[in-house]
């Protein structure tokens, strides 16, 4: 890497982030995504004010009402208002995404940092661990973890987080290896700065870019993985309004009461699409090679 390039990386000042932010804003897909996500977050926060029904209370005589009238999205088999449950479900989905991604990041980035920076045996061991985890297909690993911890929403989030972490480790390690080559890092090492300072102040920021991208996409993957676990009965427990659980519970009614699956399903789709658009936009914006 040239001197100029390494300097521009180390001048971690406003310029790089501002440039990326500008690029992001010029990407119509990413902007749409962010708007949609903004609406989602707002709706989740304002849920009690936006909805008039109890998301959990039963009303069996009102069951299977099609959309219309008081029930904008209709009611499910237990008579619960679907619009209310979809809005509250947004909260749960955000929780799932956040918890899962936090865990993935904590585990993955730590492993990757340590492996990439220290190299040698440490790298060998850490990479081995990552390899072993990668050889277990994601859902199966998450499944095993949920089986051990017990099927409930929190454990499902933890399981999804753990099973997604190897990828974070790999990406981090790659970024760290790249960063190690940079002149300023060598300079810091030679000047005797303490390891953790180097890691946190110099190496970590370079890793941040790729991690932000996969973390963003990770939220989407967590929501989908949560839905898969719900299908197997090992995800969110009833009566939690969670989109994946609503979709799974409602699948027997796919043909006869289409609204029970369609609305939570669309909620998942729209959210995941928005997240992906934002994630892709972030990737494009943070990529130094893109000059457009």
**Segment 206 to 265, residues that bind other proteins, using CB under 8 A:** 220, 224, 227-228, 231-234, 237-239, 244, 247-249, 251-257, 261, 265
Residue 121 found at the interface with other proteins (CB under 8 A): no
User: What CA–CA distance (Å, rounded) separates 145 from 182?
Assistant: 39
Counting contacts by CB under 8 A, is residue 197 touching other proteins?
A: no
Candidates 79, 154, 180, 184: give the one binding other proteins (CB under 8 A): 79
Distances (CA, A) of 68 to 32, 82, 85, 168, 292: 28, 11, 16, 45, 47
CB atoms < 10 A from the CB of 282, how many? 24
Tell me the window of 40-48, 58-66, 89-97, 183-191 that interacts with other proteins (CB under 8 A).
58-66
Residue 30 or 207 having the CB closest to other proteins = 30
* Interatomic CA distance for residues 22 and 4, integer angstroms: 22
- Nearest in space to 116 (alpha carbons), one of 181, 65, 48: 181
Q: CA 129: distance to chain centroid?
A: 22
Give the three-class secondary structure for 161.
helix
Under 8 Å CB-to-CB from 119, ≥6 apart: which residues? none
- Residue 99 vs 268, nearer CB to other proteins: 268
Give the footprint of other proteins on residues 124-153 (CB under 8 A). 128, 131-132, 134-140, 143-148, 150-152
State the nearest-atom distance from the C-beta of 114 to other proteins, in Å.
18
| Residue 50 token pair | 């936006």
Residues contributing to the site for other proteins (CB under 8 A): 28-29, 56-58, 60-61, 63, 77-79, 128, 131-132, 134-140, 143-148, 150-152, 220, 224, 227-228, 231-234, 237-239, 244, 247-249, 251-257, 261, 265, 268-270, 272-273, 276-277, 280, 283, 289, 292
């Amino acid at each position: 890497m040239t001197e100029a390039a390494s300097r521009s990386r180390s001048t971690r000042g406003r310029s790089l982030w501002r440039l990326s932010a500008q690029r992001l804003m010029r990407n119509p897909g990413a902007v749409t995504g962010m708007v949609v996500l903004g609406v989602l977050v707002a709706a989740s926060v304002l849920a009690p004010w936006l909805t008039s029904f109890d998301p959990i209370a039963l009303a069996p005589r009102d069951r299977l009402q099609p959309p219309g009238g008081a029930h904008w999205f209709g009611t499910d088999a237990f008579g619960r208002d679907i619009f209310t449950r979809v809005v509250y479900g947004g909260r749960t989905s955000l929780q799932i995404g956040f918890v899962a991604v936090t865990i993935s990041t904590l585990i993955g980035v730590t492993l990757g940092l340590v492996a990439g920076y220290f190299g040698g045996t440490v790298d060998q061991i850490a990479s081995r661990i990552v390899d072993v985890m990668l050889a277990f297909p994601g859902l199966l690993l998450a499944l095993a973890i949920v089986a051990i911890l017990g099927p409930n929403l929190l454990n499902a989030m933890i399981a999804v987080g753990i099973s997604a972490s190897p990828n974070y480790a790999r990406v981090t390690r790659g970024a760290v290896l790249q960063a190690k080559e940079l002149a300023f890092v060598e300079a810091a090492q030679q000047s005797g700065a303490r390891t953790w300072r180097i890691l946190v102040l110099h190496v970590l920021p370079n890793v941040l870019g790729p991690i932000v991208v996969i973390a963003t996409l990770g939220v989407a993957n967590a929501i989908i993985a949560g839905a898969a676990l719900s299908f197997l009965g090992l995800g969110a427990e009833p009566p939690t309004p969670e989109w994946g659980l609503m979709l799974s519970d409602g699948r027997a009614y796919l043909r006869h009461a289409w609204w029970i699956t369609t609305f939570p399903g669309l909620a998942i789709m729209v959210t995941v699409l928005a997240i992906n658009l934002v994630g892709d936009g972030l990737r494009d914006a943070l990529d130094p090679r893109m000059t457009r």
